[in-house]
Amino acid sequence: MNIIIYTLIILTILYFSLKWLANISLKKMSKNLRILTILVLFILAILFAMGGKILLTLPLTLLSLALVKLKGLSIIQIFSLFRLIQTLRKSGRFSFNQSRKSSSSSLSVSESYKILNLDINNKPTKKMLNKAYIKIQKKIHPDVSPETSRLSSIVNEAKEIILKDIS
């Protein structure tokens, strides 16, 4: 129902804006377009100056995922990988600048649940754990993309920790 209402509102706005554009002269339209462009660019400059760190976090992470050549990912899968990387970065276990030789320290149980997108309050069964593990490994396994071997080893470690917690 909301889609119909939004569509009607958008079409109404589009109708009146096209009607307004048909009645305006080209000189006036050109001047207004220049002013509008400058105003939008000024607002964007202020937004990026004030909140650039927050606004650019997700796009830069998604671009970095594209650099490691992950292929065939949907938007939902990219966001789940983004959450995985952010969880690991907050705990200090993952950085794009680290050398590959550094070994990660042991994960906590709560971090392991976050990495595999499982609820710590509801103890998962081994079947649920394997399903979550396979879902993530299909995207980041070193056979799919060799650049993600560190992420894959961290996910393996998280699975082992949760298996010990379940048993």
**pLDDT, tens digit, 9 for 90 and up, residues 126-154:** 898 889 888 888 878 777 666 677 788 88
For the chain, the domain total comes to: 2
Same domain, 76 and 149: yes
Any domain includes 61: no
Kindly state whether residue 100 falls inside one of the protein's structural domains: yes
> Which residue among 34, 55, 76 closes a domain?
55
The first and second tokens of residue 15, run together, are 């109708």
Structural domain that includes position 121: 68-166
Indicate whether 63 belongs to any domain. no
pLDDT for 94-122, tens place per residue? 665 554 444 445 778 888 888 888 888 88
For residue 143 the two structure tokens come to 């056979």
Same-domain pairing of 99 and 26: no
Whether residues 75 and 157 fall in one domain: yes
**Based on the domain organization, do 6 and 41 belong to the same domain?**
yes
Q: Which sign does the torsion angle of CA 76, 162, 65, 91 carry? A: positive
20 or 1: which carries more pLDDT confidence? 20
Are residues 156 and 82 both part of a single domain? yes
Q: CB under 8 Å to 159, separation ≥6 — which residues?
A: 112, 116, 129, 133
| Residue pair 153/97 in contact by the 8 Å Cβ criterion | no
Query: Which residues, at least 6 apart from 73, have a Cβ–Cβ distance to it below 8 Å?
Result: 65, 81, 139
Q: Is the dihedral of CA 11, 16, 20, 23 positive or negative?
A: positive
Identify whether residues 94 and 31 lie together within a single domain: no
